[in-house]
Structure 1
Amino acid sequence: MGLFFVYILKSSVCLAIFYLFYRLLLARETFHRFNRFSLLGILLLSCLLPLVEVSVKQETEVHQTMLTLEQLLMMADAVNATEAGASAETATVTWIQVALLVYLAGIVFFAFRNVCSLVRLLMLLKSGKKEDIGSYLPSRKERVTLIVHNRDIAPFSWMGYIVISRKDLEENGREILIHELAHIHNRHSWDLLVADVCIFFQWFNPASWLLKQELQNIHEFEADETVIKEGVDAKQYQLLLILKSATKLFSVLLASKRP
């Protein structure tokens, strides 16, 4: 367990540093596809770099600190529980063991949360009515399952499914469906799945949460660009986005005031 925890710590440091560079150098760029793959590349590099061993002739302070940390974590695996509390060194190991327990507790918590989210998603997919998306977008032949709900829910897509309320479908169906189809065609769900795996193991790392949020923002920009390219009036679409954002904010405020 000590080796794995060392790997996670190194990976989280790499992720934080790379994400910081991204925010400084690329975050303001409007090349959304390039930014998207840059973020995915950051995730990949942060996973691979800790596996690379670099030997140096003269150890730096950072290198010595990392070695000390690794040694302590290795001791946490090797020290017998009956020897705990005997010396200051053993006390240090005990604190590391506590940190490992907290880390494992976080993983268990997020595993439970992800399972609950998956169950809710499956219930939404099963409880809605399946309809032919071709009846709303006649010019497009899509192998996508459209799930329509009579209750008011925010539209979303996941893998090959689009979930939408009857009200949204009747009022702004074309714009919303094109938007969600863009998410599916660009395989945005896979990006979020990779980001969720990263958060699962690095739940303590703010960079992992911020990176996922950045990915979601890029996904929305890409989907919005697709809608505009499909011939939807830009001003009308902007008004729709503002209306949806205001409605969502009002719903959140209303829910927060309920006893």
Structure 2
Amino acid sequence: MSELMIYLLKANIALTLFYLGYYFGLRNLTFYRLNRYYLLLALTFSVTYPLINLKSLFSSKLDIPAEIITALPDLNNLHFSQQGMEFSEIIEYFLWFSFAVVFFNLLIKLRGVLKVHVNSIPAHWNIYPYRKSQEDITPFSFWKSIYLNPDKHNKEEFDKIFKHEYIHVRQLHSLDTLTAELVFVFFWYNPICWFIRQSIHENIEFITDQKVLSTGINKQSYQYSLLNISSLPTEPALGNHFNIKNLKKRIKMMNKNQTSNSHLSKYVFILPIVIIGSLIFSISNAKESLDSSPLSTSIITNERMAEEQNSLLPNTEPAKGRLPENLLILVNGVKVNEEDFKKINPKDIESINVYKEESAIERFGKEATDGVIEIFTKANKK
């Protein structure tokens, strides 16, 4: 599996776990500010944690076992014929193309905001600066600007609109929106990413509604203002609008009693589970990668094959006096004597396994007390 596919798999698993924790444990709580941090953490953690090289953390603590040595030919020098484009490569090309398309769509949304900004002029209403527009738009804010067509609203609505949008501006809710859109570029195919993006938009509106009502504005009057403005178009799509499509849910959350502080324990319970659950996949993946790597099996290439065999074969000078008298020698699973062992041509050897002490006895029984040399030839492999 390619690095891109592994990265996307890890990130999507993390996104899914975070959203499940939010959906089943946090979405109905009135701790909207904590939910905001939770959802932003869900995006940033899911995108960044797969980039951490956990394999290096494991390999730094890995010791090659002395009991087993495996010698293999150098596979890096083998050449394979090109079989054409693989299916995984086609998937990758499709993903990169889709990323470009969704990113282009994001640029179109930003262009829509820029268009409204260019066609508007600076204005003031009481203490609130804003951009006066003549377009048929819903009041919205983006970054540090509020956009409004005053001809579309009654004077009685202005106070509620500006208080609402000013909270968006002051708390930089556009940062949440942009973060969600950027992550969506790379995870648009995952329904969970759609749900998280929607939850982020909803939650910042919950935060703003709560703040507006805390200033003393009548709740019923404020809700009627939402209903009056809901019929206006919501372009550009990237702004923080005074109304959202799921208006019924906003009104329901405004009328909801404040959640007891005892429910704060849910964050302490859910966050570690989600993070550990995400990391478990990476840790297990890193271990599997190490188990099949040269470090875990002590793979020796052709350059060291001759050196290893010279230290093991009894007909070579360095090996004299080093092999125990009762050493068990197996060639392709068959026990051979020392004379047959001497006749083996090093070039015919596919691999050599050396077992010592407890590992030898455990694998081959008491006959292997003085160690085992297990040889597999290339002919046996064929």
TM-score interval w.r.t. the shorter chain? 0.7 to 0.9
Report how many aligned residue pairs link the two structures: 211
CA-CA distance at 1:246 after TM superposition: 4.6
Q: State the alpha-carbon separation in 2 of the partners of residues 81 and 235 from structure 1.
A: 74
Match in the other structure for 2:122: 130
Match in the other structure for 1:227: 212
Q: State the alpha-carbon separation in 1 of the partners of residues 166 and 42 from structure 2.
A: 26
1:188-227 aligned at under 5 Å gives the runs 188-227=173-212
Amino acid at match of 1:114: L
Amino acid at match of 2:89: Q
Shift in alpha-carbon separation, 1:233–1:4, aligned structure 2, 3 A: same
- Give the greater-gyration-radius structure (CA): 2
Match in the other structure for 1:148: 132
Match in the other structure for 1:175: 160
Shift in alpha-carbon separation, 1:180–1:168, aligned structure 2, 3 A: farther
Contact 1:155 1:164 in 2 (8 A): yes
Amino acid at match of 1:197: L
CA-CA distance at 1:199 after TM superposition: 0.6
Moved over 6 A (4+): none
Q: Gaps spanning 5+ residues in structure 2: where?
A: 59-78, 235-382
Match in the other structure for 2:54: 53
CA-CA distance at 1:193 after TM superposition: 1.2
Shift in alpha-carbon separation, 1:81–1:201, aligned structure 2, 3 A: farther
Q: Aligned pair 1:95/2:79, yes or no?
A: no
Q: Aligned pair 1:165/2:149, yes or no?
A: yes
Contact 1:151 1:166 in 2 (8 A): no
Q: State the alpha-carbon separation in 1 of the partners of residues 232 and 118 from structure 2.
A: 26
Shift in alpha-carbon separation, 1:52–1:21, aligned structure 2, 3 A: farther
SS in 2 for 1:27: coil
CA-CA distance at 1:195 after TM superposition: 1.1
CA-CA distance at 1:103 after TM superposition: 0.7
Amino acid at match of 1:137: N
Decide which moves more: 201-210 or 213-222: 201-210
Amino acid at match of 2:151: K
Q: State the alpha-carbon separation in 1 of the partners of residues 99 and 49 from structure 2.
A: 22
Shift in alpha-carbon separation, 1:216–1:81, aligned structure 2, 3 A: farther
CA-CA distance at 1:225 after TM superposition: 1.5
Contact 2:136 2:232 in 1 (8 A): no
Amino acid at match of 1:11: A
Q: Gaps spanning 5+ residues in structure 1: where?
A: 57-78, 85-92, 250-259
Contact 1:183 1:189 in 2 (8 A): yes
Q: State the alpha-carbon separation in 1 of the partners of residues 54 and 80 from structure 2.
A: 29
Q: State the alpha-carbon separation in 2 of the partners of residues 15 and 52 from structure 1.
A: 19
Contact 2:121 2:132 in 1 (8 A): yes
Q: State the alpha-carbon separation in 2 of the partners of residues 168 and 236 from structure 1.
A: 18
Match in the other structure for 2:40: 40
Match in the other structure for 2:290: none
For residues 78-110 of structure 1, what are the alpha-carbon distances to aligned partners after superposition, in whole Å with 9 as ceiling and x for unaligned? x999422xxxxxxxx722112112211111111
Q: Aligned pair 1:104/2:93, yes or no?
A: no
Q: Which structure ranks higher in relative contact order (CA pairs < 8 Å, sequence separation ≥ 6)? A: 2
Match in the other structure for 1:74: none
Q: State the alpha-carbon separation in 1 of the partners of residues 202 and 182 from structure 2.
A: 18
Contact 2:136 2:233 in 1 (8 A): no
Q: Aligned pair 1:113/2:98, yes or no?
A: no
CA-CA distance at 1:160 after TM superposition: 0.8
Looking at secondary structure, tell me which structure has more strand per residue: 2
